[in-house]
Structure 1
Amino acid sequence: MMIMNYFVVLFFCTWMVFNSGKVTGAQISSNAMNNCEIYDPTADQWTVIASMTTERIHHTATLLNSGKVLVCGSGGYTGYIATCEIYDPSTEKWEAAASMTTPRGFHTATLLGSGQVLVTGGTNSNFNGDLKTCEIYDPSTNKWTPTTGMSGSRSGHTATVLNSGKILVTNDGATSEIYDPSTSQWSSPTSVGPAARYNSVATLLKSGEVLVAAGIQAAKYSPTCEIYNPSTNQWDIISSMTTGRSRHTSILLGSGKVLVAGGVGDADFLDSCELYDPSTGKWSVVTKMIAERADFTTTMLKSGKILATAGYGYTGYLDSSEIYDPSTGTWNPSARLSLTRASHTTTELYDPSTGKWSVVTKMIAERADFTTTMLKSGKILATAGYGYTGYLDSSEIYDPSTGTWNPSARLSLTRASHTTTMLNSGKVLVTGGEKIGS
Structure 2
Amino acid sequence: MRRAALLLTVLLAACGAPPSTLTPPAPIASAPSANITAYGVVQFTVGGAIDPQAVSSTTIGGFTFTRGATTTYEDGTYRYVNTEYTVQNTSTVPRSNVTLLAAGASNTIPGTPWRSFRLADGTLVDGISNPALAADLAKQVRPTHGTTGAATPDLGVVRASFQAYQEADVTPLTGKSGVTNAFPWGFVTTKAGGNRTLQAGQSGTFTLSVRAPKSTNVTGFTLSMVAVTDTAVRTTRDLLERASDPTGSATTARSSSLRSTNGGVTVEVVRLPADPGVSSCTGCTTVSVSNLRLTGTSGAPTSFLLTPPAFQAGPSAIMVHRQHTATLLPNGKVLLTGGSNEQTATELYDPATNTFVAGPNMTVNRREHTATLLPNGKVLIAGGFHIGDPYASRATDLYDPVTNTITPGPTLTVGRYDHSATLLQNGKVLIASGQGLGGTILTSTELYDPNTNTVTPGPTTIAARYSHTATLLPDGKVLIVGGDGTNGRRWNTTELYDPATNTFAFGPTMSTGRTVHTATLLPNGKVLIAGGVGDDYLRTTDMYDPLTNTLSRGPDMNSIHTWHTATLLPDGKVLMLGGITVDSAYNEFLQEVTESYDPGANNFTVGPNILRARSFHTATLLSNGNVLVAGGYNGDATTELYVHP
Q: CA deviation at 1:326?
A: 8.4
Supply the distance in 1 between the matched residues of 2:316 and 2:450 (Cα, whole angstroms): 33
Aligned to 2:322: 57
Matched, 1:182 2:451: yes
Q: CA deviation at 1:375?
A: 3.5
Aligned to 1:73: 338
Greater helix content = 2
Q: Which amino acid aligns with 1:198?
A: A
Supply the distance in 2 between the matched residues of 1:314 and 1:97 (Cα, whole angstroms): 41
Q: CA deviation at 1:402?
A: 12
Supply the distance in 1 between the matched residues of 2:447 and 2:244 (Cα, whole angstroms): 38
Summarize deviations over 1:188-236 as a string: whole Å, max 9, x none. Answer: 46xxx438951399797988677999999999x9xxxxxxxxxxxxxxx
Aligned to 1:359: none
Gaps of 5+ in 1: 4-17, 23-39, 222-244, 264-290, 338-347, 350-361
Gaps of 5+ in 2: 1-74, 78-241, 247-304, 435-441, 638-645
Contact 1:154–1:174 (8 Å) recurs in 2 = no
Matched, 1:433 2:627: no
Contact 1:118–1:136 (8 Å) recurs in 2 = yes
Q: Secondary structure at the match of 1:261?
A: coil
Give the alignment's Cα RMSD to 1 decimal. 5.7
TM-score by length of 2: 0.39
Aligned to 2:431: 169
Aligned to 1:376: 570
Aligned to 1:418: 617
Q: CA deviation at 1:95?
A: 1.5
Supply the distance in 1 between the matched residues of 2:480 and 2:615 (Cα, whole angstroms): 33
Supply the distance in 2 between the matched residues of 1:391 and 1:208 (Cα, whole angstroms): 36
Q: Which amino acid aligns with 2:620?
A: T
Cα 1:183–1:88 shift into 2, 3 Å: same
Cα 1:42–1:429 shift into 2, 3 Å: farther
Greater strand content = 1
Contact 1:2–1:422 (8 Å) recurs in 2 = no
Q: CA deviation at 1:84?
A: 0.2
Aligned to 1:46: 311
Supply the distance in 2 between the matched residues of 1:405 and 1:213 (Cα, whole angstroms): 25
Pairing partner for 2:464 from 173, 185, 198: 198
Q: Which amino acid aligns with 1:111?
A: L
Aligned to 1:344: none
Q: Secondary structure at the match of 1:144?
A: strand
Contact 1:73–1:105 (8 Å) recurs in 2 = yes
Q: CA deviation at 1:92?
A: 0.7
Contact 1:21–1:301 (8 Å) recurs in 2 = no
Pairing partner for 2:360 from 98, 107, 111: 98
Q: CA deviation at 1:139?
A: 0.8
Cα 1:19–1:218 shift into 2, 3 Å: same
Q: CA deviation at 1:377?
A: 4.1
Supply the distance in 1 between the matched residues of 2:479 and 2:463 (Cα, whole angstroms): 14
Aligned to 2:160: none
Greater displacement, 172-181 / 303-312? 303-312
Asked which structure has the greater RCO (Cα within 8 Å, sep 6+), the reply is: 1
Q: Which amino acid aligns with 2:460?
A: P
Cα 1:64–1:397 shift into 2, 3 Å: same
Q: CA deviation at 1:167?
A: 2.2
Supply the distance in 1 between the matched residues of 2:479 and 2:595 (Cα, whole angstroms): 40
Pairing partner for 1:261 from 493, 505, 508: 508
Aligned to 1:248: 493
Q: CA deviation at 1:427?
A: 1.3
Supply the distance in 2 between the matched residues of 1:371 and 1:316 (Cα, whole angstroms): 15
Q: Which amino acid aligns with 1:177?
A: E
Q: Secondary structure at the match of 2:338?
A: strand
Cα 1:48–1:113 shift into 2, 3 Å: same
Supply the distance in 2 between the matched residues of 1:392 and 1:250 (Cα, whole angstroms): 30
Q: CA deviation at 1:154?
A: 1.1
Identity across the alignment (%): 30
Summarize deviations over 1:12-41 as a string: whole Å, max 9, x none. Answer: xxxxxx98699xxxxxxxxxxxxxxxxx98
Summarize deviations over 1:50-74 as a string: whole Å, max 9, x none. Answer: 2111101010111111111000001
Supply the distance in 2 between the matched residues of 1:85 and 1:307 (Cα, whole angstroms): 31
1:38-437 paired onto structure 2 within 5 Å: 42=307, 44-75=309-340, 79-126=341-388, 129-172=391-434, 173=442, 175-188=444-457, 193-194=459-460, 198-199=464-465, 247-250=492-495, 260-262=507-509, 293-295=512-514, 348=555, 370-378=564-572, 381-385=575-579, 390-391=589-590, 393=592, 405=605, 408=608, 411-435=610-634
Summarize deviations over 1:378-402 as a string: whole Å, max 9, x none. Answer: 5555544556595455656677779
Aligned to 1:240: none
Q: Secondary structure at the match of 1:103?
A: coil
Contact 2:532–2:561 (8 Å) recurs in 1 = no
* Number of residue-to-residue matches in the alignment: 319
Rg (Cα) greater in structure: 2
Summarize deviations over 1:291-318 as a string: whole Å, max 9, x none. Answer: 8x54499999999999999999999989
Contact 1:205–1:252 (8 Å) recurs in 2 = no
TM-score by length of 1: 0.54
